[in-house]
Amino acid sequence: MKIAVVGAAGMVGSRVIKEAASRSHDLIAVFRKERSAILPPGVRVVEGDANDLDRMSRLFDGTDAVVAATRPAPGHEHTFTATTRALLDAAAKARTRILVVGGAAPLQIPGHPDRLVVDSPEYVPQQWRTLAAASAAQLDTCREHPANWVYLSPPAALEPGRRTAKYRRGTTTLIASADGTSRISVEDLAVAVIDELENPGEDKHFTVGHHLH
């Protein structure tokens, strides 16, 4: 498959590229500004602003899928929905599928379907509230858009770790253990991203998490 990854310099984007390259996919890594990142051989590196509709739709033209793994810089959370909308517009124009790596905020809390993660101080400490609210709004932006999109909510904790290629998949409820722990390594999130692109599920919004006892 030919896959464009926007946000290629980020924690998620860089690992999605590594995972996709390990499965011999044809990759375009989109960076905000010119970088000499260490990338797997054969990855095409391009510069581009996610908000530039013409540039992005040209880059997406001929791809089988786009992975949107952008995150706003601290203090710029208000730009998140506009950036997401621009990428959805570009994917729609290029007639390609787009997987948006979002946040855990719009997921329901296990056992409390009327409560969302965004409203839970247990999962979202004060310093993350603005970003969490922005990712909840990001999913709303996708739901209102005619593009061929799918939205992946990671679990509450997403950190670099080991690639096990083992994870649980769910839909709109946070995957957590009995004590409330909800996590996955970024490496295994990347596995889930490429698994979804290779074998699309039926859910427009899904989540993943590590098997926890």
pLDDT tens figures, 84-136 = 999 999 999 999 999 999 999 999 999 888 999 999 988 888 888 888 899 99
C-alpha span between 149 and 135 (Å, rounded): 15
Of 78 and 19, the structure prediction assigns the larger pLDDT to 19
Of the candidates 180, 177, 182, the one whose C-alpha atom is nearest the C-alpha of residue 154 is 182
Strand ranges inside 16-166, DSSP E: 26-31, 44-47, 65-68, 97-101, 108-109, 112-116, 149-153, 157-159
pLDDT above 60 (res 213): no
Instruction: Say if residue 204's pLDDT is above 70.
Output: yes
How large a percentage of the chain has pLDDT more than 70?
97
What percent of the chain clears pLDDT 90, i.e. is strictly above it? 78
pTM (two decimals): 0.95
pLDDT of residue 74: 83
CATH for 2-209? Answer: 3.40.50.720
Would you say residue 158 has pLDDT above 70?
yes
Q: What is the pLDDT of residues 180-192, one digit of tens each?
A: 899 999 999 999 9
C-alpha 97/C-alpha 144 separation (Å) is 16
> How many angstroms separate the CA atoms of 78 and 108, rounded?
23
Count of residues making up the chain: 213
